[in-house]
Chain A
Amino acid sequence: MSEMTQVSTPPAYGQAVDAAVAPAPMQDPRRSRSLWAGVVLTALGIVTVAIGVAGLRGANGWLQLAVVVAGLALTHVGAGRLLRHRFGAGFDLTSWLSAIWLVLLVLAALLAPVLPLGEHEDIASTLSAPVFARPDLLSEYPLGTNNFGLDLLARVLYGARASLVVALGAVAMGLVIGAALGIVSGFFRKTTDAVIGIFTNSLLAVPPLILLIALATVLEPSLRNLAFALSLLALPSIVRMARASTLTFVQREFVLAARAMGASRLRIMTRELLPNVMLPLLSYAMVMISVLIVAEASLSFLGLGIQPPDPSWGNMIAEGEGNAFEEHPHIVLVPGVVLFLTVFSLNLLGEKARKRFDPRQAKL
């Protein structure tokens, strides 16, 4: 029974074991030198950040920012070395940081009402608050205030709620409708395929910004309508991806095997095709969320999305209009950096997941 001994361990498990066993003997001089370099760099980085945050209070803002950024970069390089030393060469600090950032952001956005945050939208209650206060992590306004004295940290987190709700809602709608259309299209081919093809192609033929502006002028700018409008943006590519994977999977013998066991067409589409099609789609959805966050920000920036004083990353950036940005760059930098980090993290992790679940290299 030689075949019975060929049972293979799943590759992911094997890798995890390798990584855990990896820490090599300390006597290797190159490895221990790299360990020391890591320790030194990390310590140096932390000290630099501390100097930037605490030591340079009141100094030139750009200088302070530059010092903090340099400190963070040093810490990143140093900590990366340390962690690779501990967990093996495959350890990817940036991916972990991206995941941590996203988790923290989502948690903070969810918990915003119960967190001890400053005022985020009621102008009347901030009459005595400082206006355009500079970010200072040790002060009452860690990320500063805007022209009405509203707390930027609070606004960024409440803005995250809007951005995430809209982007997630849009992607969820796009996934449900897009996967259904794509699978039906790829499964039935013929007329169904042609009709759905015409629909997706016409959506693609309208420039996205024009589509959004047209919808924004017709629809109330509510979160739900925004999500709906943005889902139209996500839809064509999701339909195409779902259709393409359906076409490959429908050829596989397991579909024929399911039919040969008497499965109905609906059952084949939902039980055999959907799970296979969904896997690559979900990783693509991460990237799509980031695109839609940017799209929502653009709409709000143009005044077509979320209306101030309700915060959104887009309309916060728009507050830098006129010479506010020149004189108080943090008005734009704070929401801008948060937007950048979020989009960057989603893209990085989405790409990683996509490579892993690419239908062309899907595990057979």
Chain B
Amino acid sequence: MSSSSAALQERSGAARETPVLVVDDLRTQIHTPHGDVQAVDGISFTLGRGETLGVVGESGSGKSVLGRTIMGLYTTGPTMTVTGRVLIAGKDVHALSASELRELWGGDVGMVFQDPMTALNPVKKVGVHLTESLRKRRGMNRPQAKARAAELLALVGIPEPRRRLDQYPHELSGGMRQRVVIAMALANEPALLIADEPTTALDVTVQRQILDLLARLQDELGMAIMLISHNLGVVAGRADRVAVMYAGRVVETADAAALFDAPHHPYTEALLEAIPRLHQPPHVRLAAIDGAPPNMVAPPVGCRFAPRCRYAQPDCTEAPPSLDPAMANGVVTPGHSFACYHPVNAGGQ
């Protein structure tokens, strides 16, 4: 695992200065009444200023848990055990005290959520969502915070920002609400933005607008973005690099272009085939991949994708394949790694 993170670090010039985010062998175990779920199982990567990493995988593959573990933000509920290291802007997230963590959240790192319908408090005005943190964190007074909030709304492309401040969330459309959620995440100019399925609940045209907005904001503010989606199509053209997750592990990671050109892992290939086309209704499940993700309490030994893999061989179920650099004509392809014994599109091996 660490060999791949070293490889990633080496190739990315931006990452070499001071990476915004370093994730090293991160493991998150959720203790549920049915047993322990290894929701994130040894993930490593780095992300530099202005870079976008797309994290893709079916629902249940551990993307949200990964995002939240990186933030150190756990939902109330089951207890979790986290090992490994996360550095955000050089700070070791899991070594921070509760109050230092709160400093980090909404400061160095912001988060955008999946459902803009529930991500805003229905009884709070749009303006209050923004001004609360500005006043507390920046020590602004009421008019200053209001002016800044209106600026933020203008920044995320909301017309008539002054008037919107006094509206309630239910008076806005889904796309507008998601813009408000993004404005909230940006309030304190984070170095890292974690966007967990930011467009899944929106319809197709609005999806594109929100993704364009994120790209523009990244150009203007230079933050690193972790763009999480179950749909490989969403990250296409938006991410510099893509990490494909399956059952808590990264099974393939590469530059976006390389991954779309020549996916090596059968799961990536299947995801590519399953990209919803424009004429399909939104929110269709990735029905093209037969079978369901494994039971995460007792995942299969060996390759976790084996039960669903059309290229599976007997050796696949013996030991888990490690995430190793891809080779082309005997030379390591920079930044491209995958975990499979019988890769596709790997003619040179």
Contacts and interface: CB of A to CB of B under 8 A. Distances in A.
Contact of B137 (A2, A8, A262, A364): A262
Interface string A347-364: 000000000000000111
A272 B121 contact: yes
B73 A259 contact: yes
Interface stretch (A16-24, A50-58, A73-81, A249-257): A249-257
Nearest to A276: B123
Contacts, number: 103
Interface in A261-286: 261-264, 271-272, 275-276, 279
A3 B175 contact: yes
Contacts of A10: 168, 170-171
A261 B102 CA distance: 7
Contacts of B206: 2-3
B308 to A, nearest CB: 31
A1 B111 contact: no
A279 B122 CA distance: 11
B101 to A, nearest CB: 8
A275 B137 contact: no
A254 to B, nearest CB: 4
A124 interface: no
Given A2-B206, A3-B176, A363-B122, A8 B106 contact: no
| B102, B103, B123, B172 pick with most chain A CB within 10 angstroms | B123
Interface string B99-134: 000111111001101110111111110000000110
Contact of A257 (B76, B113, B159, B175): B113
| A3, A6, A187 pick with most chain B CB within 10 angstroms | A3
B97 interface: no
19 contacts: A1-B209, A2-B205, A7-B176, A187-B76, A253-B113, A253-B119, A256-B73, A256-B75, A256-B119, A257-B119, A260-B111, A260-B185, A261-B184, A261-B187, A271-B124, A272-B124, A275-B121, A363-B122, A364-B170
Interface of B: 71, 73, 75-76, 102-107, 110-111, 113-115, 117-124, 132-133, 136-137, 159, 168, 170-176, 181, 184-185, 187, 202, 205-206, 209
Chain A to chain B: the 7 pairs with minimum beta-carbon distance, closest first: A3-B175, A6-B173, A261-B106, A262-B106, A262-B102, A260-B111, A253-B119
Given A271-B124, A272-B124, 13 more contacts: A1-B209, A2-B206, A6-B174, A10-B168, A250-B76, A257-B120, A260-B105, A261-B106, A263-B102, A263-B133, A276-B121, A363-B170, A364-B117
